[in-house]
Structure 1
Amino acid sequence: MSHRSMLQLRLLTWDVKDTLLRLRHPVGENYSAAARVHEVHVQPEALNKSFHQAYKTQSKHFPNYGLSQGLSSKQLTGVHEDRLLATIAESLYQEFCSAQNWELLPGARETLRQCHQLGIRMAVISNFDQRLEKILSHCNLRHHFEFVLTSEEAGFAKPDQRIFQKALHISGVAPHQAAHVGDNYVKDYRAARDVGMHSFLLTRAGRANNWELQVPKQHVLPSLTHLLSQRLLERSTPQHLRFS
């Protein structure tokens, strides 16, 4: 896009998991370690497989943490029939917020810092529960964002357009003056565009990309630093950025 046709960007929203942060270890390893504290021994590989199967089933029957059924993410975590398992579940629920369980994706901190220096307003739109605020704080990222909007708080999960519309309402920014960054074609890239926002798609090495022909190359980020190093965002005024 030429300089003449550049748009002023007033808001940049971010997905978090696998865009800015990722788990340091597979879920099964964390669960196995927590169980060993209580002298319960289970192989990490088995737990990892079981977790993903259970999460898929739970998400089908209780979408967005069971909010529409009057549940919460914490209630869905607990196992009430067994006191020991409930104790382990509670421990895991709390420890999930620890910075020790998370690591930043390459370039995340620097990219956020530079966007902040450019004067751009930033926020989070994430399919996550209420713990995300703590996770971002413990990882020293929360100060970059004006607000953090989770699907549990919003009542809608991406790709539902309403979670993006709520973020735009909170910020008071028109869709065409906002952009979203995420790693999922349907839930991030396509969903943001469906409400009239711009969007960028972060790719992962080694992942099959069946959307390649549907996403213009200038919207694809091989890395987070690509957002700035390729001049996708350029200074316009102290409070506004140009979008190319």
Structure 2
Amino acid sequence: MAWAAVLAMVGIGKNQRPEAIFLDAVGTLFGIRGNVGEIYGNFAAQAGVIVDSTQLDQAFMISFSQAPKLNSSLAMGEELVALERAWWESVAAKSFAAVGALGEFPNFSAFFQTLFDHFALADPWYVYEDVQQVLASWQQMGIRLGVLSNFDSRLYPVLEALKLADFFDSVTISTHVGAAKPDPDIFKIALEHYDLEPIQAWHIGDSWSEDVVGAERAGLGAIWLNRTGKSTPRPGVAFKVVTRLTELSL
């Protein structure tokens, strides 16, 4: 039986509010200004390396999609941040190599450090216009709110910089817990913050493969935030499909 049908039988989404709602970060709460290729290209130009931003963005998407999941929990503190940075540097290096520009940097690691630090600031991000209104409303209802993301430790300063941190009781990051979406373990760990059963919570995200499939497998109410109006890959998997958070009524 599809999970949406199970939720309907117990009343969640109709007569019963979830006890907790988890939300993905990038693509759900906030988006990137322009695209990665443009940002990488602008920083490269400042370093004297000229690249085609469109080609670089395409190369980044391929490099990012082919990289292993960033989900190590074997380190803490500065050691963990170093591992996260090394992971992203590898993705970036392969992106620049794909467009024939990697060898033009006299010290790519030094260049990348500036780039890495930039994404911990508010500058490259923007908050979707429906986010703060909905979060404030849910918070006033007494619903517990958490972030559940495959991002990295920079998520904490980004949430602060974007004035979103105060909405959330918990932040569950793949690198901190050793599991990345769609692994059900990361959802189970997030639920432990509130001592809840999966059926008592929703997860909202923009990625079908990570957010919807992962949440559904873990037993949460999986809500697909389909901001761009893509076709639903497999009907009946998501509990709800919305284009804006304001479409969710509680």
TM-score band by shorter chain is: 0.7 to 0.9
AA matched with 2:167: H
Matching of residues 230-241 of structure 1 within 5 Å: 231=249, 233=250
Could you tell me whether the CA contact under 8 Å between 1:65 and 1:72 is conserved in 2? Answer: no
What SS class does the counterpart of residue 6 from structure 1 fall into?
A: coil
Match of 1:238 in 2: none
Deviation at 1:130, TM superposition (A): 1.0
11, 21, 24: which one pairs with 1:12? 21
Residue 149, structure 1, aligned to residue 151, structure 2: no
Distance in 2, matches of 1:192 and 1:149, equals 14
What's the secondary structure of 2:166's corresponding residue?
helix
Q: Is 2:31 aligned against 1:31?
A: no
- Give, as a single letter, the amino acid of the residue that structure 1 aligns with 2:236: Q
Determine the C-alpha separation between the residues in 1 that align with 2:106 and 2:152.
24
Secondary structure of the residue aligned to 2:204 is strand
Q: How high is the TM-score relative to the length of structure 1?
A: 0.82
- Deviation at 1:199? 2.4
Matched, 1:124 2:133: no
Q: Which has the higher strand share?
A: 1
**Once the 2 structures are TM-superposed, how far is the Cα of residue 116 of structure 1 from its aligned partner?**
1.1
Which consecutive unaligned segments of at least 5 residues does structure 1 have? 234-244
8 Å contact 2:72–2:179 — kept in the other structure? Answer: no
What is the TM-score normalised by the length of structure 2?
A: 0.80
- Letter in structure 2 aligned against 1:139: L
Pairing 1:220–2:231 present: no
Secondary structure of the residue that 1:100 maps to in structure 2?
Answer: coil
How many pairs were matched up? 223
Can you give the 5+ residue segments of structure 2 that lack an aligned partner in the other structure?
1-7, 94-102
Aligned to 1:75: 86
Match of 1:96 among 119, 122, 135: 119
With over 3 angstroms needed to count, the CA separation of the structure-2 counterparts of 1:84 and 1:167, relative to structure 1, is same
Q: Displacement of 1:200 after TM fit?
A: 1.4
Aligned to 2:69: 63
Contact 2:73 2:177 in 1 (8 A): no
Contact 1:65 1:73 in 2 (8 A): no
Confirm or deny that 1:188 pairs with 2:211. yes
Which of 144-153 and 187-196 deviates more? 187-196
Q: Percent identity?
A: 27
The CA RMSD over aligned residues, in Å, is 2.6
